[in-house]
């Protein structure tokens, strides 16, 4: 009787493992991107660069700046090629994909 119980547990485990493996193979590789992700990421820049990238202080505005310019500056800050007080630290907190989303969003904002 003990071997029958052991066999049943092993079979149940194998079935569960097979189902999980099948699900993993059919599940999407990544979750869908939130349609507001770029806006939400860019909102983090507002403390210094103003709402939607329109600065009202001495910090440069980012609204309307071509995306490739913003992307290159973020890379330069991250790599220590541009002097900064805080941008070099902030730039390290974003992936290249996130920087591209932010730059694209801000480039489309009116100056």
The token duo for 16 is 């569960």
Phi/psi of residue 101, nearest 5 degrees: -65, -45
Query: For the chain, how many residues are written?
Result: 111
The alpha carbons of the chain give a radius of gyration, in whole angstroms, of 24
**Ordered structural domains, the chain, with CATH:** 31-107 (1.10.760.10)
User: pLDDT truncated to tens, each residue of the chain (111 aa)?
Assistant: 555 444 444 444 444 444 444 444 444 556 667 889 999 999 999 999 999 999 998 999 999 999 999 999 999 999 999 999 999 999 999 999 999 999 999 999 999
pTM higher than 0.85 for the full model? no
Which burial class, exposed, middle or buried, applies to 29 when counting CB atoms under 10 A from its CB (0-12, 13-18, 19+)?
A: exposed
């Amino acid at each position: 009787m003990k071997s029958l119980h052991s066999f049943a547990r092993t079979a149940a485990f194998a079935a569960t493992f097979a189902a999980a493996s099948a699900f993993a193979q059919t599940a999407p590789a990544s979750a869908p991107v939130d349609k507001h992700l770029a806006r939400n990421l860019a909102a983090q820049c507002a403390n210094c660069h103003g709402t939607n990238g329109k600065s009202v202080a001495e910090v440069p505005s980012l609204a309307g700046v071509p995306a490739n310019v913003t992307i290159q500056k973020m890379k330069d800050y991250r790599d220590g090629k541009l002097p900064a007080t805080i941008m070099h630290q902030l730039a390290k907190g974003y992936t290249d994909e996130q920087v591209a989303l932010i730059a694209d969003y801000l480039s489309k904002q009116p100056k």
